[in-house]
Chain A
Amino acid sequence: MLRMQYMWKYKALYFISIPGILFFLLFKYVPLFGTVIAFQNYNLFTGFKGSPWVGLAHFKRMFSHYDFLRILGNTLILGIYDMVFAFTAPIVLALLLNEVRLAFYKKIVQTIIYAPHFLSWVIVSGIFVGVLSPSSGVVNTIIGWFGMEPIYFLGEDSYIRTILVSSGLWRDIGWGTIIYLAALAGINPDLYEAAEMDGASRWRQTLAITLPALLPVITILFLLKIGDFLDYGFERVFVFQNPLNLQNSEILDTYIYKAGLKQMQYSYATAIGLFKSVVGLTLLSIANFMSKKATGESLY
């Protein structure tokens, strides 16, 4: 009863939230039911109502695929690399930028490092293919100065992961600093002044004030990132792939595209996608739980 009264009191707020709730129901939750096709042999023309149920056949097929472990391994390794480098780099960069005192210079640097984020992966891959080309690329020209043979970077398994991670870093590092810089701007300057009075060095101030202040933001972003740990992104890998580096660059996303969508095996593709999401959700829950215990910060 009390609750009803409470709701009545704030009826305007409840009312105003209806469009939002409808939006999420309609565009985020209803499509979730589409995943039932992972358990069917989906037929485009009869829809999910007319398609035969096949149980876990598509999952079995996925797990028994001879390359499944390799593809999952590639996905995990790339995910870990990305976590280690692409996640930490913007933090370091934001801290460094924060130390720049010349506002004008800082602005210029920021603008320049944001810019690549607006390039599509197709263009980024074009740039990297050009830069790394053994015949005309800058990198190989430099290698040539030291009297070494040119290296066909994109044609070798051993380099592809480095290329994938570093191209991602180059493209998104500046963009990633935005939130950190905003958080840094919110730190009370009094704290620094007080620390300076106490004789703390710049390095000491960073360790004792800046980093702790950033920690909540870092934790939240880390949790968000871990949620789509296996979601390395289809396009950024696909544009760099060729048969010579496929051994190390085939990931779940590209496999879904090739085996599932290109050959129209929607049910199979959905099964792999579902598997990916479940792994992501599990990882997120574990990380969230641990973070709540350890730092008190959590998503939910």
Chain B
Amino acid sequence: MKKILVRAMIMVLTLAVFTGCSSNNAGSNSKGSSGEKPATNAPGEEKAAEPVKFSISMRTLNVAYVEKNPDINKDKYVLELEKMTNSDLDIRLIPHNEYQDKMIQMFATNDIPDVVQGSGGISGPELAGAVENGVFLPLNDLLKEYGPDLLKFIPESAWERMTDAKTGNIYGIPEVLTNPSRRATWIRTDLLEKTGKEIPTTVEETLDVLRAFKELGVEQPFAGRQNFKYADMFFGAYDVLGYLNQFKVFPDGQVKPSFFDVENMKKAIGVYKTMHDEGLISKEFATIESTDFKSIVTSGKAGMWSMNANELPIWGAQLIQNVPDAKVALIPSPVGPDGKGGYAHYNPVTRSFYINAKAKDKAADIIKFFNWMVSEKAELFFSFGIEGEDYQVTNGEPVFEVPTDTAGTDKMRYLNYWLWMVQDTTYNKRVSELSDSGKQLVDAFDHMLAKEGRRGLEFDPRLDALIQYPDLNPKSDEMPPLILEHVLKMVYGREPIDGYEKLLEEYLSKGGKEIIEQATSRYNSGESAFE
């Protein structure tokens, strides 16, 4: 009796294991086949009503509407977009914060959708070298035939980032930022009025204003943040930002990171040290993260700070909700000894779209899909939404009311920034024209930010030496870890600023020499060096 029971047990267990395994297999199989080619029209055949079906991976970009959506593929606007473009999208979301890891997982498991969204040039780290390994389709001929509007709309500088210098092949369709000077200096004008001072223009005047803020009792006259992220205003004024795109030709003919300008770098560090010592910046800014930073600003504790200019309508509204008398303005960034200032310029490519080499037979239709993105119809749809529902047309003119509640702004953000895949993302023209803060924004971008900002040399693909020495590898908006560590210690008074030359020697001895040699030879040969 016992034996029978044991055997029955074993049978049940093994069965359970097998069914477990097989059902798993079935699941992954069906997933695999759905990604494969559905029936598409043979070339030359008359275009049938059959929509082109393709999968696409997209980063959520912290857009609330996307992240809260139970199924983005069933979203009303995605369905409308499909209808307008005669396509059938299978959007695969990639979480914003794990973007790079998830992308690499995707490549490693070879589960690559038909269209992959990247976020910069063709050698971006999230692509894990996919371009060199032939994962994507060269698009030159396809673009000429099916994407004439794209070729017209997107500037040459952006196409360059999508081009493999060795073969001349274009591998992706870029979304562009025509005004790469995106960060701006913000100030609380209501506080400035109380101090009776003018809008500061130089570093000295800025410090004066900050001191006056301090006297007024402003908790953080300048809002600092970890690793000088969005707090690099003064490094910008002295032109010593030292980021990935901030290499410079020095008088000795060598190409070095901009922080090799010893004199200016020391001055910039000195300014931050003064701010730290006098309490013009939070004494604990080294541990302030992005969420704390936002709450410091929007709760009215800060007098001056740096942030992306296109956040003005949203941050401004939130600040006024907390502090009704608050007034914010974007002002020109303080200038340094060379009479210029501002922040590091952004990459002219914000997102980019690559077509899987395996999706070759759908590539033409996919290009047509992206070509539609720059049409006037697309502009209307992505700016306002669905006609008759989100906006009305009277006398041939669209009439639209800019939403002010959270749900409304979330939806706008989704349409304006996220779902509109290829556009100029500097700001949304149609929506900005309709509100006061929007108009201020457009004005700031066109008349102020366009004139400021720091731009140096950038190497794409990255210099080999930068990969070899992670401690010396700067990020797009952070100095290399080695430099950052010591600069912070100097600001906090743990190390003397006079030791900066020694720090540079250390940098050189730990691999910096190779970096400079490679940068110089790459620059001289003109190989993938962007200015």
A interface residues, Cβ below 8 angstroms from B: 12, 15-16, 19, 43-46, 66-67, 129, 133-135, 152, 154-155, 242-244, 246-247, 258-259, 261-265
Contact = CB atoms under 8 A, between A and B. Distances in A.
Contacts of B129: 43-45
Interface stretch (B5-13, B42-50, B359-367, B373-381): B5-13
Given A152-B286, A154-B286, A243-B485, 10 more contacts: A44-B128, A135-B282, A243-B481, A243-B488, A246-B481, A258-B481, A262-B100, A262-B470, A264-B128, A265-B467
A134 B276 CA distance: 14
A45 B104 CA distance: 10
Interface in B128-158: 128-130, 133, 135
B77 interface: no
Given A43-B133, A244-B488, A258-B470, A152 B284 contact: yes
Interface string B250-288: 000000000000000000000000000000001110110
A259 B286 contact: no
Among B100, B125, B282, B287: residue with most chain A CB under 10 A: B287
B282 A12 contact: no
Nearest to B487: A243
Given A134-B284, A135-B284, A155-B492, A264 B125 contact: yes
Contacts of B473: 263
Contacts of B284: 133-135, 152, 154-155
Among B9, B100, B128, B284: residue with most chain A CB under 10 A: B284
Contact of B467 (A16, A44, A67, A263): A263
Among B101, B107, B492: residue with most chain A CB under 10 A: B492
Nearest to B133: A45
A229 to B, nearest CB: 25
B283 A15 contact: no
A242 B282 CA distance: 16
Given A43-B133, A135-B282, A259 B492 contact: no
The 10 A-B pairs of least Cβ separation, nearest first, read A45-B133, A243-B485, A259-B470, A243-B488, A12-B6, A44-B128, A244-B286, A242-B286, A243-B484, A155-B286
A155 B489 CA distance: 9
A265 B468 CA distance: 9
Contacts of B100: 262
Contact of B10 (A15, A43, A242, A262): A15
A182 B331 CA distance: 66
Q: Interface size for chain B: under 10, 10 to 19, 20 to 34, or 35 or more residues?
A: 35 or more
A285 B435 CA distance: 71
A134 B107 contact: no
A140 to B, nearest CB: 10
B154 to A, nearest CB: 28
A264 B13 contact: no
Contacts of A66: 510
Contact of B107 (A19, A45, A263): A45
Given A243-B488, A244-B488, A12 B7 contact: yes
B393 interface: no
Contacts of B39: none
B146 to A, nearest CB: 28
B17 interface: yes
Nearest to B125: A264
Contact of A243 (B9, B101, B107, B286): B286
Contacts of A243: 227, 286, 481, 484-485, 488-489
Among B7, B9, B133: residue with most chain A CB under 10 A: B133
Among A66, A133, A243, A264: residue with most chain B CB under 10 A: A243
Given A45-B129, A45-B130, A155-B492, A242 B226 contact: yes
B135 A45 contact: yes
Contacts of A16: 9-10, 13
A19 B17 contact: yes
Contacts of B1: none
Nearest to B484: A243
Nearest to B220: A135
Contacts of A135: 282-284
A12 B4 CA distance: 11
Interface in B455-493: 467, 470-471, 473, 481, 484-485, 488-489, 492
A155 B284 CA distance: 8
Contacts of A262: 100, 470
30 contacts: A12-B3, A16-B10, A16-B13, A19-B13, A43-B129, A43-B133, A44-B108, A44-B129, A45-B107, A45-B130, A45-B135, A46-B133, A67-B471, A135-B283, A135-B284, A152-B283, A154-B286, A242-B226, A242-B286, A242-B287, A243-B227, A243-B484, A244-B489, A244-B492, A247-B485, A259-B470, A262-B470, A263-B470, A264-B128, A265-B467
A137 to B, nearest CB: 9
B368 to A, nearest CB: 29
Interface string B70-110: 00000000000000000000000000000011001001100
A95 to B, nearest CB: 37
Among A12, A46, A242, A264: residue with most chain B CB under 10 A: A242
Interface string B200-220: 000000000000000000000
A134 B470 contact: no
B30 interface: no
A161 B29 CA distance: 49
A155 B135 CA distance: 45
Contacts of A19: 13-14, 17
Nearest to A259: B470
B122 to A, nearest CB: 15
A152 B510 CA distance: 30
Contacts of A12: 3, 6-7, 10
A44 B125 CA distance: 12
A263 to B, nearest CB: 5
A262 B478 CA distance: 15
A248 B14 CA distance: 52
B125 A263 contact: yes
B14 to A, nearest CB: 7
Contact of A154 (B135, B282, B287, B471): B287
A152 B488 CA distance: 14
A134 B283 CA distance: 8
A19 B17 CA distance: 8
Interface string B1-37: 0010011011001100100000000000000000000
Contacts of B470: 258-259, 262-263, 265
Nearest to A261: B101
Contacts of B10: 12, 15-16
Contacts of B9: 16
A171 B462 CA distance: 42
A129 B287 contact: yes
B213 to A, nearest CB: 17
Nearest to A16: B10
